[in-house]
Structure 1
Amino acid sequence: MVNRQSDLIGDLKERNTLQERRITELEAAQHRRDKVCEEIKIRLEKTENRLNKHFSPSSDTKNTKVKLIGKDNHKGRIVGSRSLLINARNSEIPPYEKGVIAFYAQMSSIRVRPGVSHTLIFDKVRTNVGNGYNGFTGVFTAPKEGIYAFIWVIRLYLAERSTELMVNNDILGATFMRTKNGDDGSVSGTAIAHVAKGDVVFVRIHSTYAGDGNVLSNVYGMATFSGWLLH
């Protein structure tokens, strides 16, 4: 029980450190967004001024400035400020700030006899759009609120294991597999969940049943953890 409590305290400390780091990253991202928007605003104002100088007033436009208003002109298309703003933002802002969040990680080596409530670390990160997943802790921290899909795959050989998918302290899903008679196989779990910004999601060995044997992962069959924002 003391060892279990010690492990839980260690996990909580790691998650707290991760959340503090994530807050710092989000604050930096907000600063970058503000800077980009200010630069776009300045460019649009300069473009509008150039167009206003270029078009001389006529009888129909004597008291009217040429505005970038995002509408078509009968004598030619004028790209509006709204379109310019959208195009500029799409070229400057990273994919996750456009709403794309996805991660996919693999376990690079065997995990030898992990104990009760042990967090499984999928350390080989292949995709991490949004930087929500940490390959050192095995924990995904949601960059924004939404509906997420999660899939985890566990491979066993001569073992018996149950795993849990956790959202904070809530058990979202669980898998079980027994490979005792020379068998080698994989079991997968899938879950869809509403996750709040800052919530942590991870895979661990069952909290009350440790089972026995190793978690296997190699080129012939990998243990993996993945997730993405649906909406």
Structure 2
Amino acid sequence: MMKVCILLLIFPITVMAKTVEASSLLTDQPSQNKTLSIHLTNRSSVEEIDHLQQQLNQETIIRLSLTKQLYSLVSDVIAMKTAMAKMESRLQKCEQLINPAHSTNDDTELKISRIQRDLENLTSDCFNAKLDKDTVVFNAVVTKHGHFERNTPVNIIYDQVLYDTHNAYSNQTGAFTAPIDGLYVFTWSTLVADKKIMNTELLVNGIRKGLGNCNNEANNGYESCSNTVPVLLQAVDEVSIRSTAGNYIYGYERSSFKGWRT
């Protein structure tokens, strides 16, 4: 009888303990789910903020690029207005000079000479106004026949400069000095007489970047040869043409060296 009473006392306590444990488990489960939901929400918010920050950075870069282009356009417009003002001033001078009344023949000739000079300057200003500040181009030619020792390399001097936007080519040394960085294209043409040769190379800071062959030693008549080489240059790099095996080059502007920045 005593044992039965003890068992009746123990059984409700065991049942209550299991009930409390189950209730605790059921109560903790929503708490864990809530914590996980908060973590996922925070992670999503961070990703959205990062995405918005990237978009903001891209828009800032685009805005800075557009601002830079705008400043460049404004600078170009100011330069064009300055050139136009100079041209208008010269035109006014021309109109003042064209008035032959009460003038002698000497005065008339002097006025005509001034008009011609002003027109030449005006043409030059118009040409330069059309050129972009980054446009680089030159053209130089040989005016006199050149005679050399066949196997002695020499720098070819193109003594007459037909045009040079940045005064970058020297007709004293035969070297072109790059005024700004960029991709340049150089071309040179060589005319040789019969039984003559003029093989050449294009040098950048003394290093060969291109070869030209103009061997006419076994032939009669004249031979014309040309070569084109593109090179990447930095400002102050020097480019020149040198013979590798040559004893003659034809002048009278038939042999030339030219280049431009693309």
Equivalent residue letter for 1:214: Y
Task: Give 1:178 shift.
Answer: 1.9
Q: Does 1:226 align with 2:216?
A: no
User: Structure 1 residues 171, 82: CA separation in 2 closer, same or farther (over 3 Å shift)?
Assistant: closer
Q: Deviations over 1:122-145 (max 9, x none)?
A: 011001001111112111000001
Structure (1/2) with the larger strand percentage: 1
Higher deviation after alignment, 189-198 or 152-161? 152-161
Taking every aligned residue pair, what percent have the same amino acid on both sides? 25
**138, 142, 154: which is aligned to 1:107?**
142
TM-score (norm 1): 0.57
Question: Partner residue of 2:31?
Answer: none
Equivalent residue letter for 1:195: L
Query: Which is greater in Rg?
Result: 2
Equivalent residue letter for 1:168: N
Equivalent residue letter for 1:162: N
Task: Give 1:106 shift.
Answer: 0.5
Question: Partner residue of 2:231?
Answer: 193
User: Structure 1 residues 122, 92: CA separation in 2 closer, same or farther (over 3 Å shift)?
Assistant: farther
Equivalent residue letter for 2:133: K
Q: Equivalents in 1 of 2:82, 2:240: separation in Å?
A: 31
Q: Does 1:164 align with 2:201?
A: yes
Higher relative contact order (CA 8 A, sep 6+): 1
Q: Deviations over 1:27-72 (max 9, x none)?
A: xxxxxxxxxxxxxxxxxxxxxxxxxxxxxxxxxxxxxxxxxxxxxx
Question: Partner residue of 2:76?
Answer: 86
Q: Does 1:214 align with 2:248?
A: yes
Q: Equivalents in 2 of 1:178, 1:81: separation in Å?
A: 53
Q: Equivalents in 2 of 1:146, 1:84: separation in Å?
A: 24
Q: Equivalents in 2 of 1:84, 1:144: separation in Å?
A: 22
State the superposition RMSD in angstroms.
Answer: 2.4
Task: Give 1:89 shift.
Answer: 2.8
User: Structure 1 residues 203, 88: CA separation in 2 closer, same or farther (over 3 Å shift)?
Assistant: same
Q: Does 1:184 align with 2:218?
A: no
User: Structure 1 residues 182, 129: CA separation in 2 closer, same or farther (over 3 Å shift)?
Assistant: same
Q: Equivalents in 2 of 1:176, 1:107: separation in Å?
A: 18
User: Structure 1 residues 130, 182: CA separation in 2 closer, same or farther (over 3 Å shift)?
Assistant: same
Task: Give 1:97 shift.
Answer: 6.8
Q: How many residues align?
A: 145
Q: Equivalents in 1 of 2:163, 2:225: separation in Å?
A: 22
Higher deviation after alignment, 89-98 or 174-183? 89-98
Question: Partner residue of 2:21?
Answer: none
User: Structure 1 residues 146, 182: CA separation in 2 closer, same or farther (over 3 Å shift)?
Assistant: same
Q: Which runs of 5+ in 2 are unaligned?
A: 1-69, 84-127
Q: Deviations over 1:123-168 (max 9, x none)?
A: 1100100111111211100000100000001111121221000011
Equivalent residue letter for 1:103: F
Structure (1/2) with the larger helix percentage: 2
TM-score (norm 2): 0.50
